[in-house]
Structure formats: structure tokens, C-alpha cells
Amino acid sequence: MTTDAAAPESRSDDRAELRPDASDARPDARAARTTEALRVAILRLSAAQHVDRLSVAQIAAAADIHRVTFYDHARSPSALLARVMRDELDAVRAEYLASSYVREHTLAEAIRHTSMAVAALVDSHSAIFEHLLAEHSRTTAHDLLAPHFESSVAALIADRGVGLAGTPAANGAEAGAEPAQAAPAQAALARTALAKYVAYGSVGAIEVWFAAGAEGAEPAAVAGRDPEAYYALIEPLLPRWLVA
């Protein structure tokens, strides 16, 4: 009788051990709230003035966190803004690369789609980029955009197997090198150079497009900041073998 009575209690204890402790989720939830508060704060404050003019104390106060907590998330205001922008840009890229579009269209169409999506995102943060382009300071629009552009181009190159066909860099035909050793190294070098070449030029073009779309800009080359206008600007500048 004693054994039978004890069995249900034992099973109840087992179930209790398997139930997740609600307190276990609290640190993660708190960290998520802090991350979101910092994201909102840095976007709002850097839209009002150049990020390099902001202090950690200002951002911490706006996010309602302790100043020390800020450094658990970023080393400086500009680093925080770069991370927030990177996350938004990467989310656009992830959504795009995960869609059927990238598998069903040409590389040229994929580049057009991605370029316009990034231009639209930049325009959605127009106040921030206006400060970055208007003032000469440590943090620039290039700092926020170039790493994303470069990694995006590199991902497209890897996904589509793009190379500089017929060139020594693509074929590994360096004089005096063993083909088996030269080909992988030279092909990797070509892909890296290609990613930087396209990415850095695209960032420069987006700065030109953004500035030209400002109200009262001279010359009035584009009406507003239409992502279509951005791609129309860069498409003739891209290598033919990339967008053909």
C-alpha cells in the first residue's frame, strides 16, 4: 500500500523536473528588451544629429538603461548604429536569398532586386544618412553600407559560381604555379576582388543617388529617392559579364 501511494507523488516530481522554470527565460527576455530599447534609441538620436556627436550617456538615458549596460551591447554609439543597420540590411538580404526569386531569375535580376531593396532601406533612414553625408566625421555612410554590400556580392558570387572567365585570376594560370595549387588561390582572390569592386562602387553610387534625391539638390538629376532611379544609375556602370 505504501509503495502504491508513493508512485503518483514520484511521477508528479518527475513532471515538475521536466517543466521549464519560468525564471530561466527572464535573462533572455530582459536582454531582448534592452537590445530593442537600444535599437530604438540609436535610430531616433542619430536621426536628430550625427552619431559621432552622441554620448553613451545620452543613448543609455534614452534606452532607460544603466550606462555600464550599454557596453554589454556595443563599444561606442557608432558601433551600435553600425550593428543595428547591419541587422536590418542582413534581414533584407536573408529574406531575399531565402525566397524562390533568387533561384528562378538571372544574376542580373537578383542584383537589381537586392540593390533596390537596400536603396529603399537607406531612404527609410534618410535623416541618419543625411547627417552622415553632410558632415565629415569618423563614421560615414560607407562604414555602414560597404560591409553589407561586400558580403552580399560575395554570397551571390558563391551561390551562382560567378568568376572572371578567361582571366588568369579565374583560371589560376599564374606563370610558374602548379595548376592544382594556383587555381583555388587565384579564383578566391578574383572573387574577393570582384566583391569589393562591385560593393565599394555601389556604395559610392548610393551616396550620389541619395544626395541627388535631396529636396533642392543641384543638379536635380532625380525626382526624390526612387530605388528604381538608383538602379538606373548603377546598372550601366556594372561589369557587363555581371548583369548580362
Q: pLDDT-based confidence at 243, cuts 50/70/90?
A: low
pLDDT at 175 over 50: no
CATH 3.40.630.30 applies to domain 2-243: no
pLDDT at 9 over 70: no
CB-facing half-sphere around the CA of 101: CA atoms within 13 A: 15
pLDDT at 198: 83
pLDDT at 26: 67
In angstroms, the CA 153 to CA 194 distance is 8
CB-facing half-sphere around the CA of 126: CA atoms within 13 A: 14
Structure letter (DSSP) for residue 20: P
How high does pLDDT run on average in the chain? 77
Report percent pLDDT > 90 for the chain: 34
pLDDT at 159: 67
pLDDT at 77: 97
> 234 Cβ partners below 8 Å, 6+ apart?
115, 201, 202, 205
62-90 confidence digits (pLDDT tens): 999 999 999 999 999 999 999 999 999 98
pLDDT at 23 over 90: no
In angstroms, the CA 35 to CA 84 distance is 10
pLDDT at 35: 95
What interhelical angle do 56-63 and 26-48 show, nearest 10? 120
Q: pLDDT-based confidence at 224, cuts 50/70/90?
A: low
In angstroms, the CA 34 to CA 85 distance is 17
DSSP 181-193: HHHHHHHHHHHHH
Q: pLDDT-based confidence at 46, cuts 50/70/90?
A: very high
126-157 confidence digits (pLDDT tens): 999 999 988 777 888 998 999 888 888 787 77
pLDDT at 10 over 50: no
The residue assigned the cell 552619431 is: 51
CA torsion, points 202, 110, 164, 191, in degrees to nearest 10? Answer: 70
